[in-house]
């Protein structure tokens, strides 16, 4: 499953290790969010959004519709 998070990260030319470091998590944890294996906590969604400079609703559409 390809998520909007992965699409936007790749579009920005940032690898998982770099983005994970920017938001203070491990690459493995980021991978779980990108594949949908884990649900991303709200506070982390905002940190990722800021790091990628993309609105939260675009990166995590299913989680922001609740």
Is residue 64, in this structure, part of any structural domain at all?
Answer: no
CATH number of the domain that residue 42 is part of: 1.10.260.40
Query: Do the domain assignments include residue 66?
Result: no
Query: How high is the pLDDT of residue 1?
Result: 65
Tell me how many domains the chain contains: 1
Assessment of whether the complete model's pTM goes beyond 0.85 = yes
Query: Which has more pLDDT, 63 or 48?
Result: 48
Does any domain span residue 29?
A: yes
CB 38 within 8 A of CB 60: no
Question: Do the domain assignments include residue 37?
Answer: yes
Q: Is residue 65 part of a domain?
A: no
Alpha helices in the chain (DSSP H): 4-11, 16-23, 27-35, 42-52, 56-59
Return the exposure string of 8-37: e unless at least 16 CB atoms fall within 10 Å of the residue's CB, then b.
bbeeeeeebeebbeebebeeebbeebbeee
31 within domain boundaries? yes
Residue ranges making up the domain that contains 19: 4-59
Q: What is the mean pLDDT of residues 8-20?
A: 97
21-54 tens-digit pLDDT: 999 999 999 999 999 899 999 999 999 999 999 9
What lies within 8 Å, CB to CB, of 58 at 6+ separation is 4, 8
């Amino acid at each position: 499953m390809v998520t909007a998070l992965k699409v936007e990260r790749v579009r920005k030319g940032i690898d998982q290790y770099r983005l994970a470091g920017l938001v203070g998590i491990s690459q493995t944890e980021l991978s779980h969010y990108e594949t949908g294996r884990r649900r991303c906590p709200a506070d982390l969604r905002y940190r990722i959004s800021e790091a990628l400079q993309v609105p939260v609703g675009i990166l995590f559409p299913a989680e922001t519709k609740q």
